[in-house]
Structure 1
Amino acid sequence: MTAVEEDLAGAWSAWHAEREDTLRAPHGWLSLTGLHWLDGEARAYQDLPGTWRAVGTTAEITAAAGDGVSVDGEPVDGTVRVEPVDGKPGVLVAVGERRVEVIRREEHLGLRVRDPQGPTLARFTGVPAFPVDAAWIVTGRFTPWEAPRVIDVDTVIDGLGFHPTAVGTVTFTLGGEEQELIALGGEGGELRLHFRDGTSGQSTYGGGRILRTAAPADDGSVRIDLNRTLNLPCSFTAFATCPLPPAGNLISVPVEAGEKSPV
């Protein structure tokens, strides 16, 4: 292994270790133990105390002081309402050591239960990945649209949509073929490339994977390191609501780089 290859592998190993540490977080994606959609009837869910129901765009929680339910550090004794934002991380409600994430997806309100003692988290031993290879690092070109656009994509849940903001396209050559992907916007000008490829549903998750890049350079060039392609939460748990890739975001060759399907 050359010095350059050693540097690449070392940097990737450190990055991937940090990624796995994030997945091990007590209330992270691997802690999910349930997903429940609310309706207008106040009812109990799973083994959660109190009752929960949807009231318009808010979730109404009714609990007694001894139930151990709190919102923003304040114990619930009676009825409170929380209002999550569509498509964003939800409002966290503490129930003992668990966290109930109240989410909104389009007009639907739901509860995601995060339990640090959950079975998926308990059995997690790491994320398998393809060997790191510099051949999977290419330079692409970002072409911004005149203005960002909210696009419609499907999710892993039938009938439930997601509406991310796309900012342009990224083109690059891979396997001797030109590829073009719609790029979603991210923090600090980063781009998010959500795609399927020839490995999807085989060695990698069928719902696609995602790659975050740094902000494009002034000339539009963007470094695409496919070794850092990630699984979405839905590859680990049935209780997430992941979007699927934008229509047409298919790389025409197998991308044997980045994370594989979890074992």
Structure 2
Amino acid sequence: MTVQDLSTDTVELEAFTRDWQDWRARQFDRLADPHGFLAVTSLNWLSETPERFEDAPGLWSTGPDGVRVELDEGEELIVDGAAVHGAYSFGVIAERASLFPVSGDAVIEVAKRGGHDILRPRHPENPLRVEFAGTPAYEPDPRWAVTGRYLPFDEPRPTTVGAAVEGLQHVYDAPGRVEFELEGQALSLTVFNGHAPGSLTALLTDATSGVTTYAANRSLQIAAPAADGTVHLDFNRAANLPCAYTDLATCPLPPAENRLPVAVAAGEKTPFERG
């Protein structure tokens, strides 16, 4: 190897590391957001019986017509920029959707998860958020960034997975799987649709899970496949889901086939909050 080759390798490694550090900074900002998951103060399952919760205004209930709140005199919510008083109906909420009415400096998440309507207040002063100091992670290493191939299914496959909350299930349409090689082993992951158009998400565990990384799950975001099905998997960006930090999350668990037999010593480790 020539001096020029060494110089090129050094420059590429520095760029790789900077990109990873930028990703880490975005991860921190997302978690430290005043109304992010670390601000959640309770997880409440709504029923037809109106119920009041100490960290949210109003009496809350749900039924065939959706979620409803009855606010007492002096109580207020801001919904889509407008002040709401008295009785208000949020209507039927779609699965995995969330609404975020505002109450003072808090937001009161109204959502549906696993077919159940929930109320999840988010208060910026929650100690879990205020004391958040970041997430430990493995140092970035290009050997954990590999090329794979996306193989779409003939039709999306409804895939039922468990959840961080006992007894809850999620159903996702899996559009295909990704095949790749890691640590000398041929592996594959069933993938779900990602947030960006055409992108993919993989939920996974591996031989580090429960040892150095969170036991239940991590997620990997995968950019949209190239025309020939090629995808880039960077396990340095294997990320914790909210349930790694708080028991007030309903995160999905990986499909059984996504439990990798190798130790993926890359990405985010078990949060300090679970230490």
| TM-score, length of structure 2 as denominator length | 0.91
| Structure 1 residue 65: Cα displacement | 5.1
Amino acid at match of 1:97: D
Which deviates the most, 71-80 or 140-149? Answer: 71-80
Amino acid at match of 1:125: A
Would the aligned equivalents of 1:189 and 1:215 in 2 still touch at CA under 8 Å? yes
| Structure 1 residue 199: Cα displacement | 0.8
Mapped pair 1:188 → 2:197: yes
> Once the two structures are superposed, what CA deviation does each residue of 1:70-91 show, in whole Å capped at 9, x if it has no partner?
3222222221111321123x11
Amino acid at match of 2:205: R
Would the aligned equivalents of 2:56 and 2:121 in 1 still touch at CA under 8 Å? no
Match of 1:166 in 2: 174
Would the aligned equivalents of 1:170 and 1:180 in 2 still touch at CA under 8 Å? yes
**Runs (5+) with no aligned partner, structure 2:** 1-8
> Once the two structures are superposed, what CA deviation does each residue of 1:7-27 show, in whole Å capped at 9, x if it has no partner?
111111112112211211111
Pick aligned residue for 2:207 from 198, 214, 234: 198
Mapped pair 1:28 → 2:36: yes
Tell me the distance in 1 between the aligned counterparts of 2:21 and 2:215.
25
| Structure 1 residue 169: Cα displacement | 0.7
Pick aligned residue for 2:58 from 50, 54, 65: 50
> Once the two structures are superposed, what CA deviation does each residue of 1:20-54 show, in whole Å capped at 9, x if it has no partner?
11211111111111101111111211232221111
| Structure 1 residue 160: Cα displacement | 0.9
Match of 1:102 in 2: 110
Tell me the distance in 2 between the aligned counterparts of 1:17 and 1:253.
28
Q: Which runs of 4+ in 1 moved over 6 A?
A: none
Tell me the distance in 1 between the aligned counterparts of 2:168 and 2:17.
39
Amino acid at match of 1:198: A
Match of 1:253 in 2: 262
Secondary structure of the residue aligned to 1:13 is helix
Which deviates the most, 77-86 or 216-225? Answer: 77-86
Would the aligned equivalents of 2:41 and 2:55 in 1 still touch at CA under 8 Å? no
Match of 1:68 in 2: 76
Amino acid at match of 2:261: S
Aligned length: 262
Secondary structure of the residue aligned to 1:111 is strand
Tell me the distance in 2 between the aligned counterparts of 1:158 and 1:178.
32
Would the aligned equivalents of 1:57 and 1:107 in 2 still touch at CA under 8 Å? no
| Structure 1 residue 256: Cα displacement | 0.7
Q: Once the two structures are aligned, what percentage of the paired residues are identical? A: 38
> Once the two structures are superposed, what CA deviation does each residue of 1:57-115 show, in whole Å capped at 9, x if it has no partner?
51110003521323222222221111321123x11121111111111123311111111
Would the aligned equivalents of 2:55 and 2:121 in 1 still touch at CA under 8 Å? no
Tell me the distance in 2 between the aligned counterparts of 1:238 and 1:46.
18
Write out aligned runs for 1:224-263 (5 A).
224-263=233-272
Tell me the distance in 2 between the aligned counterparts of 1:73 and 1:65.
20
Write out aligned runs for 1:79-90 (5 A).
79-82=87-90, 83-88=92-97, 90=98
